[in-house]
Amino acid sequence: MKATIYDIANKAGVSTATVSRALGDKQETVRPETRDRILQISNQLNYRPNSLAKNLAKSTTSAIGLVLPEIQGDFYTEIVKGVDEIAFSGGYHLIVASSHSRRNIVESLLGFMRESLVDGVILMIPSMNGHLEEVLANYKIPVVIINDIHAFDKYDIVSIDNFQGAYSIINYTIKSLNHSKISMITGPSGNYDSQMRKKGYTAALKDAGITIRKDWIIEGDFTIKGGELACSRILSLKEKPDVIFAANDNMAAGCYNASESLGFKIPEDICIIGFDHIELGNFLRPKLTTVHVPVSEIGKTSTKLLIKRLRNKDDKSIEPQHIKISTGIIIGDSVSKLNN
């Protein structure tokens, strides 16, 4: 049977409070000879303290929560890996929850906060609403938000530079590859990442003097199937673009499926661009041209911010940090140069 603090107290002839002090953070309050005897008995009995009870006594859990829109798919897997790596090295456990179709983000967040399961939360949200804002205001544990939100300056925020990523790859497609007939499959209209990627796309077209065609902008849902359906719509238009820019690699993969089923060759008949540079893109042929996002770095940076906040939670002078993760371009074979 596992030894308890009561076994040590009985054998040492002292109170459990004395044992607790001798084995805890108040060793200096116990006489040296008594502390040595307690430590010796503890080793003889192979006593291991109950870390959960110890943390509860301190009103801490040594755990952080991560709330994601989904927990499946390469993008979210990389977020989890990045968070877990830094959490583990910092002495924290990780608890992950998702706001899937049967549970929204508020419910996931309340599950952590009401039960005091975690010391802090990393929250990846597609959008902000009044209910969520109210929950964050009412619970006083540290929160780091992953998203491109500008209206909530009081929180630490980590975001992808979505605008610059989209602008750069469209500008490259125009200036280096000579394309001007470029369509886009966006993400959901209420999603912040989607909105900024669309803004980057339209800004690049405007700066190049290219007219933006509304019929070439189709809303998707960030899924492979959503990309397939949106691409089919674009390829059925009477006047077709030369390039389809999908707002993530999943939808780009859907474009590959739709193009193949409709008899369009990539890049000879239609060019495809993605965004995120997830593992899935490495299996597409021809190789996908896409925006590189260091996804794991998002998780790592968010966790470093949260741990810093937890270790300095009494220091009110620390200003919230807003960090943007820069992107790059992965040049593949899914976009060919247009010879004018």
What's the per-residue H, E or C state across 32-68?
A: HHHHHHHHHHHHHCCCCCCHHHHHHHCCCCCEEEEEE
- Which pLDDT does position 141 carry in this prediction? 78
Identical fold for domains 5-49 and 162-293, yes or no, is no
Comparing 271 with 31, the larger pLDDT belongs to 271
Tokens of 45: 């009995």
- Which pLDDT does position 61 carry in this prediction? 64
Asked if 224 and 190 count as a contact pair (C-beta separation under 8 A), the reply is: no
Residue 150 banded pLDDT, cuts 50, 70, 90: low
Average pLDDT on 196-222 reads 95
CATH (residue range 162-293): 3.40.50.2300
- Which pLDDT does position 132 carry in this prediction? 67
Average of per-residue pLDDT values in the chain: 84
β-sheet with 143-146: strand ranges across: 93-98, 63-68, 120-124, 143-146, 156-160, 322-325
Report strand pairing: 120-124 vs 93-98.
Answer: unpaired
Average pLDDT on 9-31 reads 77
Q: Where are the domains of the chain?
A: 5-49, 63-160+296-325, 162-293
Asked if 334 and 265 count as a contact pair (C-beta separation under 8 A), the reply is: no
Tokens of 223: 């899924």
- Is the preceding omega at residue 69 within 30 degrees of 0, hence cis? no
- Which pLDDT does position 271 carry in this prediction? 97
- Which pLDDT does position 235 carry in this prediction? 95
For residue range 291-334, list pLDDT tens digits in order. 999 989 999 999 999 999 888 876 777 788 889 999 999 999 99
β-sheet with 182-186: strand ranges across: 217-219, 182-186, 243-246, 271-276, 289-292, 328-330
- Which pLDDT does position 91 carry in this prediction? 86
Average pLDDT on 94-118 reads 64
Report strand pairing: 217-219 vs 182-186.
Answer: parallel
Q: Which of 291, 226, 286 is nearest to 260 (CA)?
A: 286
- Which pLDDT does position 65 carry in this prediction? 84
Q: Looking at the chain, list the stretches that DSSP marks H as alpha helix, in order from N- to C-terminal side.
A: 5-12, 16-23, 32-44, 51-57, 74-89, 105-114, 130-138, 162-175, 192-207, 224-235, 249-261, 295-311
CA 188 to chain centre: 17
Comparing 136 with 236, the larger pLDDT belongs to 236
Q: Does position 77 have pLDDT exceeding 70, yes or no?
A: yes
- Which pLDDT does position 1 carry in this prediction? 60
- Specify which residues 150 forms β-bridges with: none
Q: State the Cα–Cα distance between residues 283 and 267, nearest whole angstrom.
A: 16
5-49: in CATH 1.10.260.40 = yes
Average pLDDT on 256-283 reads 93
Q: State the Cα–Cα distance between residues 282 and 309, nearest whole angstrom.
A: 37
Lowest-confidence segment of 209-213, 218-222, 282-286 by average pLDDT? 282-286
For residue range 164-179, list pLDDT tens digits in order. 999 999 999 999 999 9
Residue 102 banded pLDDT, cuts 50, 70, 90: very low
Q: Does position 131 have pLDDT exceeding 50, yes or no?
A: yes
Tokens of 281: 């893109």
63-160+296-325: in CATH 3.30.1490.20 = no
Q: State the Cα–Cα distance between residues 73 and 280, nearest whole angstrom.
A: 9
For residue 207, give every residue at least 6 positions away whose Cβ sits within 8 Å of its Cβ, in sequence order, or none. 171
Q: State the Cα–Cα distance between residues 122 and 119, nearest whole angstrom.
A: 11
Q: Which residue has the tokens 């609403």?
A: 129
Q: State the Cα–Cα distance between residues 340 and 154, nearest whole angstrom.
A: 51
Q: Does position 51 have pLDDT exceeding 60, yes or no?
A: no
- Which pLDDT does position 128 carry in this prediction? 62
Q: Does position 56 have pLDDT exceeding 50, yes or no?
A: no
